Amino acid sequence: NCVIEHGGKSFDLNAWSAGGRKHLSDMRGQRIVRLESVGGTMLLVRADCHRDGLVFPPFFYGSRSRWVRDPHPLRGHLVGEIETEGLAIMAKDMGIECWGLPDLEIRHCAE
């Protein structure tokens, strides 16, 4: 859970569930939570998942996946997710679950 100050709202909004409506700071008090998307602030990926083809797509991935946000909140008409969000959608399509630790905070330095 990337935050600017201890106990604050999530700064990295790429880790979410409920179709992008819930972020890690909304899930505090739960030891471990299932995520539909992940951010890249602190991310551990099993090497065998990459060997099986899991990548950080530089293109919109998942136009047919039930896990993508439609419409995309920033891209409107484009359907799918890219980079870390795309990796999580691809993982789910491969049968791999993504998990988050909402009470573990990583501090992002304010600019």
3-state SS class at 34: strand
**What's the CA dihedral at 33, 15, 28, 104 to 10 degrees?**
90
The H or E element spanning position 98 is strand 98-100
pLDDT at 71: 72
Whether this model's pTM surpasses 0.85:
yes
Q: Which fold has domain 1-111?
A: Spore Coat Polysaccharide Biosynthesis Protein SpsA; Chain A (3.90.550)
Task: For the chain, 111 residues long, give each residue's pLDDT as a single digit of tens.
Answer: 999 999 999 999 999 999 999 999 999 999 999 999 999 999 999 999 999 999 999 999 998 898 888 777 777 777 899 999 999 999 999 999 999 999 999 999 877
Domain boundaries, the chain: 1-111
Q: What gap in Å lies between CA 81 and CA 106, rounded to an integer?
A: 24
